[in-house]
Structure 1
Amino acid sequence: MMIERVIGNVRETVNLPRHIERVYLRSELLLKRIQRVRTDHGNELGIRLKNGVELRDGDILYQDEKNAIVISVLEDEVIAIKPTTLKQMGEIGHMLGNRHLPAQFTDEEMVVQYDYLVEKLLQELDVPYVCEKRKLAQAFKHIGHSHG
């Protein structure tokens, strides 16, 4: 079966069928437009999305009255950084920005992929953080940049 569009997302859909097959993906694969995947029931699918379309956790790839195929994102090792002051946030943001690390933000924290060098830096600067496994709704995106 070839999937060329996302039908919806389980967070926004009320009427899901009883039988749901899952496609488990690492978060970085959410950014791939074209890929071959296998459901937890062993069914193989091809995904070919239009440019600019990215997969998200809970996306519905297929649905009929009895079955649905849904994306489920696997947990990532992340560091959740929880600065206590604006100055601390600015300093750590600047240092991590120089490393071109992709980050995600909430009102309380900055989340980056786990890296032992980042953990060491946070310890040296005495910045509060937590290392944990977390299911990310979206993939980390690298922003192209050079120091040319």
Structure 2
Amino acid sequence: MIIEQIVGRLDQLSPEDREGRHIEKVYLPSEDLLKRIQRVTTDHGKEIGIRLTQKEELADGDILYMDEKNMIVIEVEPDDLLVIRPRSMQEMGEIAHKLGNRHLPAQFEGERMIVQYDYLVEEQLTSDGIPFAREKKKVKKAFRHVGHKH
């Protein structure tokens, strides 16, 4: 089976649309969400190819296939993350500047800055006394490295 487009989102289905359908899952690390072409295996051992024709990225909860009885849904594996909780704009600016010099992609949720785990960043945060926690959790979008030339 070759999947060429995302057919929906699990969180947008009504309870009636979900009822009675068997859900197979494709577990993906977050970096694989950026791949438009890949071969994956469901949790039931079914191999499928993904070749997205639209310029879209996969996301947790995307429905790759659905008929009257079955669905195949993307489930993102939790990432090893550093969740940084600066106490002020000053701290946010300082840590953002230091991490920006490393070209480390970051995501923001409210007043929290989230980066993929890196022991050097952990050491930097500890030495600067900036509050953070190491957590395993799903990210809403994949971390995208930005191409950059000095």
Common fold by TM > 0.5? yes
Does structure 1 residue 115 correspond to structure 2 residue 118? yes
* Corresponding residue of 1:31: 34
Does structure 1 residue 95 correspond to structure 2 residue 98? yes
In the alignment, the residues of structure 2 paired with residue 124 and residue 51 of structure 1 have an alpha-carbon distance, to the nearest angstrom, of 45
Q: How many residues align?
A: 147
Does structure 1 residue 64 correspond to structure 2 residue 64? no
In the alignment, the residues of structure 1 paired with residue 55 and residue 2 of structure 2 have an alpha-carbon distance, to the nearest angstrom, of 18
Moved >3 Å (runs of 4+): none
- Write out aligned runs for 1:45-60 (5 A): 45-50=48-53, 52-60=55-63
1:94 Cα offset (Å)? 0.5
1:18 Cα offset (Å)? 2.5
- TM-align CA RMSD: 0.9
* Corresponding residue of 2:148: 145
User: Please, what TM-score do these two structures have when normalized by structure 1?
Assistant: 0.97
Matched AA of 1:20 = I
In the alignment, the residues of structure 2 paired with residue 52 and residue 101 of structure 1 have an alpha-carbon distance, to the nearest angstrom, of 24
* Corresponding residue of 2:3: 3
1:11 Cα offset (Å)? 1.1
Residue 5 of structure 2 contacts residue 54 of structure 2 at CA under 8 Å; is this kept in 1? no
**16-25 or 52-61: which moved more?**
16-25
Gaps of 5+ in 1: none
Matched AA of 1:134 = K
Gaps of 5+ in 2: none
